[in-house]
Structure 1
């Protein structure tokens, strides 16, 4: 597997335009995260322009955290446009098991075969048709409990599935890896997970999805480790994280990435 730092260097050289149909809670932090890591964010969700804008973007993220029917239609339109252009898109099934609307919308999006799906263990189990112990948008299952579901989902979609947790798991249905970077404070700041999707999309715009996703997770988690050294709590962690992400070098990422085969 290529050095994660090489992925970061390539992404920054390209500075991909990433369209994000995200949620109200995440938009500001997500845009700042993408700018800090070296990509170019665009928050475009109106159905009247979502697909047209997707033709301009190098990657797309879709997040159902605060979706409604109009946003759901825009997500499908934009995802179809990315598929037609052969460009990557990342799906985050936030709280998929909580309501019928989320389950139905997620099923329609899965049918469009995302390049990468990132969720917590309970969300990935639910997408794969298994029961889980979700508490609203929070996971109640371990990463280990979702590994087989992630593999099956990856084979079904032909894409990559990432299960977020203390140690992340990434698979394309055949191969897999673990990413052990990160810090507990990351879970104490809202929209940190949602913002990660943009980084994954930016990396996937420049490299094959399995390696790109693992590199993005390592980059994000390592920035969290560095930020935690300076932070006094979640309030000071967020700006420290943006600074750490912007300051991260390819060499530091290659040296600090904790990626192993699984």
Structure 2
């Protein structure tokens, strides 16, 4: 099965900028095939938005990017026929009504199915005659997703899509998103710093820090490569000698994030737990690059 998204040795430098200030990219590579969900993680300034803009053809970059076989800058019109993007800020025309937006999309996008969008919106509180400017942020995100789902989009990029939404809107958003994803051969990229919220959706993860990849792996391999040990502080000296990735002190015990290679050396020292992506993300963000 061929990759729908291919990023090879992509870098982006801004003249006059210190690389330690972030918002740059250095030698990023990955491939995504149908059925993969990539979590693009990192704090503000890590390079997430810079990478997304390169994939959307919004600025020049070094390296190679292919989205469904098309280069983002020189073949952007063809690429966008199978790619959609939802950001954390509203990009829908505020002056239109919901019905006008759907009619406009139907007229300009040959793959848009109005009946599918209407069916999705009947499951929400969004009314056709309502102006987009009068919708809440949660409703705008739902409307945007309904339009995406009603097209022949194969690749969807989400950039902090649920930022500022309450739990009800978040739950509805992700439910509709998963229905779309499992209804065909799709690729999904979710850029976020809300790691715990998206962890259960991901098949793969790319963690950026100062524009560099500090971790790039599948979700399956994380539990195979790391574990958490909750051990009495009596063992702290022995565990510290194993160069733990991170530690979190409790009352008389400490939780250590360790490489699986250390498992036999700490056997019997305490309780062993499966590592969460959020634990690993925080540990890597604390480390110096």
Q: Which has the higher strand share?
A: 2
Same fold (TM over 0.5): no
Q: TM-score, normalised by structure 1?
A: 0.33
Q: TM-score, normalised by structure 2?
A: 0.31
Rg comparison, structure with higher value: 2
Q: Which has the higher helix share?
A: 1
